[in-house]
Amino acid sequence: MSQVQQVDSDSEELATAEVPMTGVWADLVGQEPTVAVLRPAAAGAAAWLAGDRSPSAMTHAWLLTGPPGSGRSNAARAFAAALQCERGGCGECSACRTAITGSHPDVTLVRTEQLSLKVDEIRELVRKSAMSPVGRRWQILVVEDADRLTEQAADALLKSLEEPAERTVWLLCAPTVEDVVPTIRSRCRLLVLRTPPTPAVAAVLQRRYDVEPAVAAFAARASQGHIGRARALATQEEVRARRQHVLAVPSGLRDLASCLTAAAQLVELAATEAKETTADLDAGEKLELERAYGVSGSGGRGARPRQLQTAQKDLEEQQKVRAKRLQRDALDRALLDLTAYYRDVLAVALGARTELVNEELRDDIEHRAASTRPEQVIRQIDAILACREAITANVAPLLAAEAMTIALWNTPG
């Protein structure tokens, strides 16, 4: 049994102070150490097939971890493209383009919108992993949510990792190595992505989306390196408005009633965001289902197959689960914004010389820091983290949020 091999990112970074971020690697913002590992692995893939099993060479299973927004799934797709490309990831050929978008016949991208990856889905992937690639190179399976594997799904994947087909490569992605069951992670080579630096994120926003420098700097700082979040903050007024509402919560906690109101508003904001995300998608899926059963455009008139009613019920259940996950994710983003706010308060209270995440709120933060003991701020941060853990454990979001806001207001100094 092989053990997890973790790349020493510090030594890699020293060895490759300037890694050219071109071709399929161009979108990996601030991930030069990661590219310094994946690029030679892709280049040495042919040697790996010939029997070279050195640590710096290719291997059949990788686990890419990194904080949300670091680009771990983008890194997996880029690596898949480089493995399929005759030129190691030029970014221009058909193999690169189709691998990145998920339309390459030998690259399978798996990303669940449900709460977990079920065993039936993984069994289908395992079946596909045993097949020879259509082309001359690799059969690659990218699992973007390896942290959502059920216990049964992990067991189904295990044998494929232990006895892989010669030309099969598994690329698993997760926030941290601890999020993946030990039997899976012990059979993968671990590569840890870092949080992209704020200047690198700001530069990308300006270059790709023509964002004003001041807005780009704000979005990059406020997102704490989460590229997708930074893009939304820079380009969508409603996203900035929701964030401002969240950051106004601490100053509005005056009594028990205001705590309960604030909690309800946080949950409602998350529900609204989830609904906005899924409304068009839900409607499109329902219409597509009706078309598949030949009843689209009937206006509800005429006989409807019994099988359609069953399929519609199943679809509605799946959509409810997806909405629940998206609402939970939206609420978690709000909690992270609150954590960053209190982190800034703690930094100022302790006199730390560090950049504030919420620099635009410096006056409010300095005022709160002057009137709050550091020990109290730490307890407030703990209350937010406890709320995140409770929601992850399926505690009702409103109850968890109410407990948090009461703790924020009533924390002893």
pLDDT of residue 20: 62
Query: For residue 398, what are the CA distances in angstroms to 17, 104, 240, 277, 383?
Result: 48, 43, 23, 21, 15
What are the beta bridge partners of residue 283?
A: none
Is it true that domain 23-192 has CATH number 3.40.50.300? yes
pLDDT of residue 292: 83
Please enumerate in sequence order all residues whose Cβ is within 8 A of that of 258, keeping only pairs 6 or more positions apart, or say none: 252, 409
Q: Which parts of the chain register pLDDT below 70?
A: 1-20, 53-56, 296-304, 412-413
| Strand ranges in 175-269 using DSSP code E only, listed in sequence order | 189-192
| Domain assignments of the chain as residue spans, ordered by start | 23-192, 198-235, 256-293+316-410
pLDDT of residue 4: 44
Please enumerate in sequence order all residues whose Cβ is within 8 A of that of 69, keeping only pairs 6 or more positions apart, or say none: 195, 196, 223, 225, 226, 227, 228, 229, 230
What are the beta bridge partners of residue 5?
A: 189
pLDDT of residue 250: 96
Sheet holding 189-192, edge to edge: 5-6, 189-192, 61-65, 168-174, 139-143, 107-110
Residues in the chain: 413
Distance CA 11, CA 111 (A): 32
- Is residue 345 classed exposed, middle or buried when 0-12, 13-18 and 19+ CB atoms within 10 A define those classes? buried
Closest CA to 99 of 125, 64, 73: 73
Q: Which amino acid is at 229?
A: R
The CA dihedral of 395, 399, 400, 401, to the nearest 10 degrees, is 140
What are the beta bridge partners of residue 110?
A: 143
Distance CA 86, CA 136 (A): 10
What are the beta bridge partners of residue 61?
A: 170
Distance CA 316, CA 116 (A): 17
Long-range contacts of 43-47 (CB under 8 A, 24+ apart): 43/88, 45/83, 45/137, 45/138
pLDDT of residue 19: 57
34 and 191 Cβ atoms separated by less than 8 Å? yes
Distance CA 134, CA 289 (A): 30
Q: Which amino acid is at 190?
A: L
Please enumerate in sequence order all residues whose Cβ is within 8 A of that of 366, keeping only pairs 6 or more positions apart, or say none: 348
Please enumerate in sequence order all residues whose Cβ is within 8 A of that of 333, keeping only pairs 6 or more positions apart, or say none: 229
CA angle 5, 11, 16 (to 5 degrees): 115
Helix residue ranges per DSSP H, 16-118: 32-43, 45-49, 72-84, 94-101
pLDDT of residue 311: 85
pLDDT digits (tens, 9 = 90+) for 287-316: 888 888 877 655 545 566 778 888 888 888
Q: Which residue's entry shows tokens 């493995």?
A: 83
Tokens, residue 53: 């099993």
pLDDT digits (tens, 9 = 90+) for 330-378: 999 999 999 999 999 999 999 998 889 999 999 999 999 999 999 999 9
Please enumerate in sequence order all residues whose Cβ is within 8 A of that of 134, keeping only pairs 6 or more positions apart, or say none: 105, 106
Q: Write down the pTM of the prediction.
A: 0.79
Tokens, residue 18: 């300037």
Measured in degrees and rounded to the nearest 5, phi and psi for residue 348 equal -70, -40
pLDDT of residue 5: 43
How many helices (H) and strands (E) the chain has is answered by: 18, 6
Sign of CA dihedral 125, 128, 134, 135: positive
